[in-house]
Structure 1
């Protein structure tokens, strides 16, 4: 008995140590954070002043008819509206908002795992894997930037949608949450297939009339979000399908890619496929002598070598139709991503676009664990976290002049 108590205390000590470590990383970033760095803060300010364009020509803006627009989907800016209204642009701490969302995301994932009746011995390992062993960690630590904040918001909305379909199954709310995810990261739209199948399955005992009205409500709220996005595009760029990405002044090789092949092309598949599934942990020495200037490969590390536990999803045990729905959504997200001109550059030990399908695939991972040796599962999670910490440490050393 004494040994068990001691082990329990040791685990709590490790959790506390990990929390203090993350707090030590987050706090300096929150203190130094300024809304001036984030396009969504400027977009929120523009909304407050009754306009869609922003006043400054900042990195990654879309320039159209001599006006500056934020080309990225607008929901993260809507979320920041009350914060910007109270604190103003320069004093808005996007990192703090991201931290609050991350705490909400932990709560939501715990709820989802309990609704799936996952064995309690796995739950906290899954949470650690999701938030510390994937692209989520580096994205949250860099969420003062527009791209990474969009990922955090999209994950929140997706977890809200998943929690809803697995809980009360209200189509109106599930569709709204998916719409919010889509208005943060467009690739989220492919989760439609999985969410719809789960929604139908969870309400299988209800009357046909109730199920039909629930599905209609799902598509109504999702369709409303989709329509607002098309209207948003049309007002800004005179075309409902023009997001403004083609008007971004891209740097170097990215500009060369888009000029030759466009935003989407099969020619991008080999590069993106390699970095998504094959590329290993890669450290670079960027000085003239290649002996210093240590940094991480800016194109990242594949999920195979950064977060190998995600492949346990192939051993998930669930109803066939639910598994098919999940894999259809995941596959469509991956295929669309592989056709894109950019694989998520700049990133470290991750493929940040994997966050689009991570909320779905982590469910499959959770449902596979009874078929996976415990030691193999735990070792893969520990490995993933260590590699993330190692990558962050290497980046830190690079900033110190090594």
Structure 2
């Protein structure tokens, strides 16, 4: 390696050396989770879901139009505007389904499609952790990094999300896929264009992911000297070596943002209206009174994240879960370790800012994620939270791994029962029932 940082001959940089060895382990993890998710999916993989909105949208795209070519099969979460039917969810999953829908039409298996992406975030999370370990930026061992990947894949709400295959969960699985790739390629800002592409594609699956950009900006500027205030940080953006990478990073997200705004305008005559305001649901009066994002919804979302527990009774089935799901700390208790990091620093702060920027939209959103086993909107930033556990530097003791096992048990129950065993879930259809009735 020469003093200016360029490779001499075929010599590899230390960071490149740290990436190549774990690829075999990473692919073993990938295959293992495909097996786990495939077994959990089981018979669901044999046919398309009943909520295959993206298939209908893909068919519309194939016919050169934005509105559906025929009325939807049921009334759940479709948009009717100016006597036409639309899908209001971000369009990338539908775009990716177009070749399959071209061949199989409305029989295209959206569950199998979702399954194909489901294990990819685990691979990128592992590569991210190993990259940081190879640089000495985290103190976890390879075995512990494998354990953290198992935590994400089986010990968080991502598990139940990954094995549904319906429109809401397809968006989240693909969003997590592109978020994990963005996270990996953002490190050291070494692949700015690819990181930007992943961020933009994530946005076209889950809108809040567009706001996870702080991680890249930190990785770009972390080695700058004398950044003592906002003026210094802003000034560093305009250094050509940094500005060039920022432009490479931002170009694709800017293009897809314009693309999304054009689609919104063509459908709803408003570039900022993606359609949820016009959903054909029972609680549209809530939208007209409070809008889609409002402080009014904050307390409900915080209650969902922090307070909801299983309802216990003395009669079968003994356990009932609110349709608003379970508290995040209950489904994944090791997240409590985030409250007591041993080490803090630039990356630690950048990750928390990234989590805040990404999470704030769902905190003020009109929906808690209902109907769900656990707080599913956390999937937008769970990868960053798992990364924070590693960056926090606290020793992963037997207590930690015991809590991981507890989380795996809880989320296995959710992955198996959600959508299959309604007796374990509240029958409320009003969105009003958060806690066990007295």
1:135 matched to 2:157: yes
In the alignment, what sits opposite 1:41? 55
1:362 matched to 2:386: yes
In the alignment, what sits opposite 1:269? 298
Shift of 1:27: 2.9
In the alignment, what sits opposite 1:50? 64
Shift of 1:28: 0.7
Cα distance in 1 for residues equivalent to 2:35 and 2:97? 27
In the alignment, what sits opposite 1:308? 333
Which residues of 2 match residues 289-368 of structure 1 at below 5 A? 295-316=320-341, 320-348=345-373, 350-368=374-392
Cα distance in 2 for residues equivalent to 1:211 and 1:282? 53
SS at match of 2:214: helix
Judge which range, 255-264 or 72-81, deviates more: 255-264
Residues 208 and 359, structure 2, Cα contact 8 Å, conserved in 1: no
SS at match of 2:213: helix
Q: Which runs of 5+ in 1 are unaligned?
A: 1-14
In the alignment, what sits opposite 1:220? 251
Cα distance in 2 for residues equivalent to 1:47 and 1:203? 46
1:129-170 C-alpha deviation (Å, 9 max, x unpaired)? 101111111111112x11110000100111111111126622
1:350-385 C-alpha deviation (Å, 9 max, x unpaired)? 1000011112111111223x4134112101111111
1:282 matched to 2:304: no
1:269-292 C-alpha deviation (Å, 9 max, x unpaired)? 11111111122233689xxxx866
In the alignment, what sits opposite 1:374? 397
1:186-240 C-alpha deviation (Å, 9 max, x unpaired)? 1112201122212343799xx9433221111111111111111111111111110
Cα distance in 2 for residues equivalent to 1:74 and 1:380? 37
Residues 343 and 394, structure 2, Cα contact 8 Å, conserved in 1: no
Corresponding residue to 2:184 among 163, 168, 177: 163
Shift of 1:111: 1.0
Corresponding residue to 1:151 among 128, 149, 172: 172
Residues 182 and 195, structure 2, Cα contact 8 Å, conserved in 1: yes
Residues 135 and 355, structure 1, Cα contact 8 Å, conserved in 2: yes
In the alignment, what sits opposite 1:10? none
Distance 1:394 1:343, change over 3 A: same
Shift of 1:320: 2.7
Cα distance in 2 for residues equivalent to 1:211 and 1:27? 48
SS at match of 1:382: helix
Corresponding residue to 1:120 among 137, 142, 148: 142
Cα distance in 1 for residues equivalent to 2:142 and 2:54? 38
Cα distance in 1 for residues equivalent to 2:424 and 2:351? 44
1:83 matched to 2:100: yes
In the alignment, what sits opposite 1:67? 84
SS at match of 1:68: strand
Distance 1:20 1:245, change over 3 A: closer
Cα distance in 1 for residues equivalent to 2:416 and 2:98? 34
SS at match of 2:106: coil
In the alignment, what sits opposite 2:208? 187
Cα distance in 1 for residues equivalent to 2:171 and 2:306? 23
TM-score (norm 1): 0.85
SS at match of 2:96: helix
